[in-house]
Structure 1
Amino acid sequence: MLTLEQARAAILADIKPATVQQIVPLLQAHGRFAAAELRAQVDNPAFDNSAMDGYALSLSDLIAAQFKLPLQGAARCGDAPGKLTPGTTMRIFTGAPMPQGADTIVIQEDIKTEGAAIIFPKTAHARMYLRQRGEDFRRDDVLYGAGQKLSAFDVALLSSAGIAQVPVYKKARALVVATGDELVAPGTPLAPGQIYESNRLATLLLLQELGVDAVDGGTVRDEPAALRELLKSSADFDFVITSGGASVGDHDLVKQVFAEIGEIKFWKAKIKPGKPIAFGRVGERTHFFALPGNPVSSLVTFKLFVEPAIVTWYHAKYYFPELLATATHDFRRHAGRTEFLRARLLSERGKLLATALPGQGSHMLKPIRETNGFIRVEAEADGFKQGETVMVVPLSTNFS
């Protein structure tokens, strides 16, 4: 049985990254992965301009005039750069282009007026409050490399750099299916022995957050023929993700059928929850994940294995987020598997605290309401004590 790290490494080594690219308008690039270097089309700032409301002047003129200059004209945003008459000062507003002949700005709070003249402090020096052309970035500077997932802030930067269209990788296509005779859709009356299906919906939404074109394949019964048909029709997908049918019960047929149609890279990982996970490939293109049927196990294995695979498929580097926190209580268990405890992470005066939630059964969904992270317990550890430092995996940046 593979350890967590071995299983993840096996998955990432097998991923065949995206090759198809497309050009999209900048606004549609949000949440997509860049397929090439993105270079600035202009300098930023595009011209020397003022960082503050104040007065533009030549420092040498100011010193020669003993820090008293007559006011002549104004420079406003959107104006073409004006020309400063020697021996004068010009009113200037934040973002306005620097007049020719001026080399510094004195903010309006630091001046006094004397009739039509402006009196400046003797502390003025060259290039005060001046934003220089290109000090942020220059034309042709590389702003992002291939594989960068573009956030709203990234889109804003690209817009300021004059980029209107972005090469991105075509969205991965994933087919999501739940397996099990006992599963029914919400809104359907439950017959004895039936339960409402939830894993498929969660998986679809998690994939969408990763920039994947996720297709709902519905629920498939525990019948070999139905599962074979599913796998044989998966050639148009980059990923097929099932939940249920991956453990060792008589009706857990996913592994059996998958071995007939495709190639299993591994089955089972030394983790809790989520031990019965299978990964492999059907044909040259389609990567296959068989996630456990228990809801929490499905969520954990998605975060541990599917998410890194998707990110790697998009040519991006995946960094598994882990932080150090202080345990608020004792926890004891039998060592053997790397375990992920649903937890509440709380930031208190700059210190991150971790509390494992009650109800850690892999079938129990209610604690998810309060879960904003996992406490990671290493395979060889038999637990932790209150006050000890523990490793946590955040699911959110809200630690309140």
Structure 2
Amino acid sequence: MISVEEARNNILSALSSVSTETISLHTASGRVLAEDIMARRTQPPSDMSAMDGYAVKISDLTKIPVTLTVIGEAPAGGSYDATLQSGQAVRIFTGGPVPNGADTIVIQENTSRDGDSVTIEEGTEKGRFIRKAGIDFKEGGKGLSAGKTLTPRDIGLLAAMNIPWVTVRRKPVIALLSTGDELVRPGEPVGPNQIISSNALLVSAMVEMAGGMPIDLGIAQDNEQSLRHMAEGAKSADLLVTLGGASVGDHDLVQTVLGKEGLNIDFWRIAMRPGKPLMFGDLNGTPMLGMPGNPVSSVVCSYIFLYPAIDALSGRSPRKTLVSPAILSHDIKENDQREDYQRAKIIGEKDGLPLVELFSNQDSSLLSALSAANCFLKRAPFAPALKKGSQVSIIPLDEGYPRC
């Protein structure tokens, strides 16, 4: 068995970024930039007022109050094109360009207006409430770098830079292949010895959350012909993920059958719980991640291995598993030689940290406990027994984990 870190490194070193596509800014949120973005304009394009008020010369404000002659207006989207002289003021609005000759904005709350005259009733400093040209960004300057996952905030920046289209990495295509005679799809007739296939839908949702495009190849029966035929559908995928069929049972055919089809195994079996029989290899040029059939194992392996793999395919830095400190609400036993990821729930707070409670049954097939959990308690190999109140490490399972 190899360590979790070694397995992660092996997977990531075998993957490269997918190809690119150019898309409208309207659909770019969540996508990964494939190239640096340079601004196509300067923002603001000239000195602008940050407030409603009057554009004046600071030299006219040496004695307060002072009355000035209002000679025009500078609204947003308009301008006052003459040069401001001493003793004059221009009525200006937020976003209005500062007239030539003006160097300060006096907000309207500090003035009183009488026809074409305005009295400045409170002083201010030079340059107050003026947004200088290019203070946000300048034409030709770099706005965003390649590898950035675009947030709604980034979309606003790109729009302001006059960027209507962006070149991004296409969404990696992740082919999901379930295996096992015991599986049927939700809603189909269920035989006396069968169970509902939940893994494909579960992992598919995680793939979408991580920025990939899942393709469900279906359920391969436990025979060579079915598995070989259904695996054909992964030829155009960027990554094949098999669900089940990766352990040592007589009916676990993935290694045997796909080995005949060209599967080259990099590693099989990891010192972790759950997820020990994880497999990684290459099937005729398509990377293949073989995950265990138990749902909890699939979720843990998706967090630890599949999410970073999708990052690497998407052209961004692979994420690290988010680990946070927490406090135990009860005693726990020592751990064995495998890195352990136990289902747990945050039940409160103690000393400023989350208070966590492990589920009493850690069987890796229990979907009810998995659904109720909001964190994994991560334990290192050979971790000692711990008492109530001890500090531990948890992996939050909130929906924001895949990044924003």
Unpaired runs of 5+ residues, structure 2, are none
In the other structure, the counterpart of 1:58 is: 57
Cα drift, residue 27 of structure 1: 1.3
Asked if 2 retains the 8 angstrom alpha-carbon contact of 1:324 and 1:389, the reply is no
TM-score scaled by structure 2? 0.90
Instruction: Give how far 1:279 is off.
Output: 0.7
Q: Choose 22-31 or 264-273, whichever is displaced more.
A: 22-31
Residue 43 of structure 2 is matched in structure 1 by 44
**1:375 alignment counterpart:** 377
Taking the aligned partners of 2:134 and 2:35, their CA distance within structure 1 comes to 23
1:245 aligns with 2:207: no
- What residue in structure 2 maps to residue 176 of structure 1? 176
Q: How does 1:313-328 map to 2 (within 5 A)?
A: 313-328=313-328
Q: What is the one-letter code of the residue matched to 2:56? A: L
Distance in 2 (CA, whole Å) between partners of 1:80 and 1:177 is 64
How far residue 25 of structure 1 moved from its aligned partner, in angstroms, is: 1.2
Q: CA RMSD in A?
A: 2.4
Where in structure 1 are there 5+ consecutive unaligned residues?
A: none
Q: How much does 1:350 deviate?
A: 9.8
Choose 390-399 or 320-329, whichever is displaced more. Answer: 390-399
Q: 1:158, 1:215 → 2: CA distance?
A: 31
Shift of 1:64: 6.7
Amino acid at match of 1:391: S
For residues 382 and 45 of structure 2, the distance between their equivalents in structure 1, rounded to whole angstroms, comes to 58
Q: Which secondary structure does the structure 2 equivalent of 1:2 belong to? A: coil
Distance 1:367 1:105 in 2: 62
Count of residue pairs brought into register by the alignment = 396
- What does 1:47-196 correspond to in 2, within 5 Å? 47-63=46-62, 67-80=66-79, 82-83=81-82, 85-86=84-85, 87-112=87-112, 116-122=117-123, 124-196=124-196
1:59-82 Cα deviation digits (max 9, x unpaired): 112227864323343322221354
Report the counterpart of residue 296 of structure 1 in structure 2. Answer: 296
Tell me the distance in 2 between the aligned counterparts of 1:217 and 1:398: 28
Match runs of 1:349-360 below 5 Å: 351-358=352-359, 359-360=361-362
* 8 A Cα contact 1:357 1:367, kept in partner: no
TM score, norm. by length of structure 1:
0.91
Query: Does the aligned pair in 2 maintain the 1:341–1:356 contact within 8 Å?
Result: no
Displacement of 1:345 after TM fit? 4.2
CA distance in 1: counterparts of 2:93 and 2:399, whole angstroms: 38
Q: Which residue of 2 aligns with 1:28?
A: 27
Any idea what SS the aligned residue of 2:22 has?
A: strand
3-state DSSP of counterpart to 2:369: helix
Compare 303-312 and 110-119 and name the one that shifted more.
Answer: 110-119
| Equivalent residue letter for 1:378 | A
User: For residue 171 of structure 1, what is the amino acid of its counterpart?
Assistant: K
1:243 is displaced (CA, Å) by 0.7
Cα separation, partners in 2 of 1:81 and 1:206, compared to 1, 3 Å: farther
**Could you tell me how far 1:295 is from its partner in structure 2?**
0.6
Q: CA deviation at 1:346?
A: 7.0
Q: Give the Cα–Cα distance (whole angstroms) in 2 for the partners of residues 293 and 326 of structure 1.
A: 30
Indicate the percent of aligned positions where both proteins have the same amino acid: 34
Structure 1 residues 392 and 52: alpha-carbon distance in aligned structure 2, compared to 1, 3 A threshold: farther
User: Are residues 385 and 31 of structure 1, via their aligned partners in 2, closer, same or farther at CA, if it must alter by over 3 Å?
Assistant: same
Aligned AA (1:372): N
Residue 347 of structure 1, CA deviation: 8.1
Q: In structure 1, what is the Cα distance between the partners aligned to 2:4 and 2:193?
A: 33
Determine the C-alpha separation between the residues in 2 that align with 1:148 and 1:80.
37
Amino acid at match of 1:377: R
Residue aligning to 1:235: 235
For 1:302 and 1:215, how far apart are their aligned partners in 2?
Answer: 16
Q: 254-263 vs 63-72, which deviates more? A: 63-72
Name the SS of the counterpart of 1:217 in structure 2: strand
The one-letter amino acid paired with 1:279 is F
Counterpart Cα distance in 1 of 2:350 and 2:276: 37
